[in-house]
Amino acid sequence: MGRTPDGPLLVLTERLGGHDTFLSGRLDLNGTNIPVRIMTLDDVTVLHPTDPGTVPALRTRWSGTLHLPHGLRPQTAPGDLESAAEAEGRILEALDDAELRYALTFLSEATTREIRGARIAAIVSALPPARGAA
């Protein structure tokens, strides 16, 4: 557990994967319902209670149930990335979940068509070739 001027930060033992970050959820902690903001970063998930007064005194390790009203976030590559990979004979499916998440985030932050094209080229060039492709 960490602390900020706005209240406690509750660090999960395992990173929460497959869900959007910076969304709201609800933590059931020893019968206390605590509304939280979910912050999933590169290697850790942190819960920030939106009402710090609802958090009971905690030890270093605590146990609770996180309720997520949101579904799994889609990890699908956009058509332009898929087309570019196919045209270059590269295997987009070779990326694991974390690598795909990074690639899609990198691509989604492009601010112009030119930057998006350059980022697609960078992603595709890092993919392994398909069998029989040169």
| pTM for this entry | 0.50
The amino acid sitting at 29 is: L
pLDDT confidence band for 20 (50 / 70 / 90): low
**β-strand partners of 29:** 32
Q: What is the pLDDT of residues 63-109, one digit of tens each?
A: 788 887 765 566 789 999 999 999 999 999 999 877 888 898 889 88
**What span, in angstroms and rounded, lies between the C-alpha atoms of 116 and 109?**
8
